[in-house]
Structure 1
Amino acid sequence: MKQIGIIGGLGPESTVEYYQSIIKKYQKKENSLQVLPELYINSINMYNIFKYISEERMDDLIEYLGNAARKLELLDVDGIIIAANTPHLVFEEVQKQVEVPMLSIVDAAVEAAENQGAENIGLLGTKFTMEQNFFKKPFIEKGKNIYVPDESTQQYLHEKIVSELENGIVNPETKKEFERITREMIEQHKLDTVILGCTELPMILSEKDFSIPFLDTMQVHVDRIVDFMFEESKA
């Protein structure tokens, strides 16, 4: 069975959820609770990621993530994932730092949106994910319409994600505001799905409170990871 290396800590809360979700879906696929996947987690500092992006130090960002990936590669893993959306800003450059394949959360999200038949898509996440093109471009290339909130709303969402959700804090007032913003986007753009493009957002937003399906990037990523672990290794 293939082994996976996880670049985690981006943030800690979602890394724990990744770990538990991979185990549950692995056991479900094996149809047994008496098996466990072999995983390696390299937990790095998410605040370094935010700092490098904010200061537009892309070379430092690539080196920091590349170093984390290379450490996992030394453990002889079969594949590597970054357990967050925002660092995928430099995913292709980090992939070049290692020989083993890396599994992209963006690719998993695009495939899931295709399977849903989604056309008008809302994207929520950190400011970096919403304002940059790395996440939106693959959807646009597939002919999808993808929408993000206005700049001031992006800043509000980002601040709450970093100061509260990344630290495991779910504030009821923040939850109400996130829900209001999401409903306004759905109505304004006639959305048929909303992408939770930050792995902490499921802590505060749930599709059961809305009239359309959501696309949880962490869960579709985990699905892809577990499928990869069961694929036969090439000779």
Structure 2
Amino acid sequence: MTDSRSDPVALRFRDLDAFGHVYHAEYLTLLDELRTAWFGSVLGLDHPQSYVVVRVEIDYVSSLTGDDGSVHGEFAVEAAGTTSLTLRESLRAGDGREVARSRVVVVLRDPRTGSSRSLSDRERASCVRYAERRGHAMKRIGLLGGMSWESSAHYYRLVNELVRDRLGGLHSAECLMFSVDFAEVEAMQESGRWDDAARLLTAAARVLEGGGADFVVLCTNTMHKVADAISAGVSVPLLHLGDTTAEAVLATGVRRVGLLGTGFTMEQSFYKDRLAGHGLDVVVPEADDRALVHRVIYDELCRGVVSERSRVAYQAVIGRLVEEGVEGVVLGCTEIELLIGPEHSPVPVFPTTRLHAEAAVRLALG
């Protein structure tokens, strides 16, 4: 759960009885104080009369004394109504020990009129982020896809298959997907409007964050050119494809790799430099081979066309990279693994879509 913990509050002399224990009634006061502060940080309800408690149930778990020093709260949204919120709360001592748990219903209030009011769209989106998670502690994956939808569908299948394989039974990934119109993005690529593309994808990432994604997976190699801008525009982590790929390559002992991808990925520095930053020596094909690889991606693979003729042509490109001494080949476009598998190369291939999906599931499941 994202930021479910409040800042700590120091225990005060007035909270204690003659034996140094916190009065049971004070547990409610402490929870109220912690809840109000948490509401301020999460929903912006920083006015002391922004809500009223209409129902509270509390279970006392263990004693709390002045020696504990401080307390903090952990909060989750169980339900969001039109004007009300139902919360699950945990009061914890400074050492993290749970001392009480409660269930509380609050009604939002307009401090100016004293009347109840409805949750705003922004508040409701925030509530989704802090929704109570039951069962296993799976983080919610935010898939930012559509570039192209062919590979995004592969991402979706992979993360669900991998979660099923890890957890068994009918388990599947807890995930969201925002799929953009690739024609719009491709036009921005061709015209060099990378700032516009960054704004478009950042807005999409914010929708995923508002929907409760604990981290964002950008389902494309090429658009990692604007990954830093997207990451700066959201408060949840972005799982960088270049990092997950480099880590997988290094784990095999390979150091010199060929890179296949779009012309942007092969010719510009943003991806090669990310791999090189991990200690990899990156080799790209010659100009004619780069043009062929790029054309097949956009004219065929992004349109769902998988051609044996193009597979043979890619194998020839890989062969020429091997002649230059590469020890492995990074399939640096999420569509390429629809065409090329391990059986099509004399050296190991590193399928970035699968590697990215595997890293996302590891992060989601811990």
* Corresponding residue SS for 1:135: helix
1:163 aligns with 2:299: yes
Q: Look up the match of 1:180.
A: 316
- The answer on whether the counterparts of 1:8 and 1:44 sit within 8 Å (CA) in structure 2 is yes
Counterpart residue number, 2:259: 123
Query: TM-score, structure 1 length as denominator?
Result: 0.93
Q: Does residue 15 of the first structure (1) align with residue 152 of the second (2)? A: yes
1:190 aligns with 2:296: no
Cα distance, 1:82 vs structure 2: 0.9
How far the C-alpha of 1:49 sits from its partner, in A, is 2.2
Q: TM-score if structure 2 supplies the norm length?
A: 0.61
Deviation at 1:34, TM superposition (A): 1.5
Alignment of 1:64-213 (within 5 A): 64-187=200-323, 189-213=324-348
Aligned-partner Cα distance in 1 for 2:344–2:277 = 30
- Asked if residue 55 in structure 1 is aligned to residue 191 in structure 2, the reply is yes
Identity %: 29
Q: Which moved more, 1:151-160 or 1:93-102?
A: 151-160
Quote the Cα distance in structure 1 between the aligned partners of 2:286 and 2:187: 23
Asked whether the 8 Å contact 1:49–1:87 carries over to 2, the reply is no
Choose from 194, 215, 222 the match for 2:350.
215
User: Number of residue pairs matched?
Assistant: 229
Cα distance, 1:9 vs structure 2: 1.0
Name whichever of 47-56 and 73-82 sits farther off. Answer: 47-56
Does residue 5 of the first structure (1) align with residue 142 of the second (2)? yes
Per-residue CA deviations over 1:145-181 (Å, capped at 9, x if unaligned) read: 2111122321221111111001110122111111111
In 2, Cα distance between equivalents of 1:134 and 1:74 = 28
Deviations 1:59-113 (A, max 9, x none): 1011011111011111021111111111000101111111111111111001111
Give the CA RMSD over aligned residues. 1.2
Alignment deviations for residues 180-202 of structure 1 (CA, whole Å, 9 cap, x no partner)? 11111111x11111000011111
Q: Is the 8 A contact 1:124 1:197 kept in 2?
A: yes
Distance in 2, Cα, partners of 1:85 & 1:47: 17
Gap runs ≥5 in structure 2 = 1-137
8 Å CA contact 2:246–2:280 kept in 1: the answer is no
Q: Is the 8 A contact 1:10 1:46 kept in 2?
A: yes
The answer on 1:44 being equivalent to 2:180 is yes
Higher helix share: 1
**Residue pair 1:108, 1:224 contacting (<8 A) in 2 also:** yes
Out of 29, 33, 36, the residue aligned to residue 166 of structure 2 is 29
Distance 2:247 2:208 in 1: 26
Worse-superposed segment, 78-87 or 202-211? 202-211
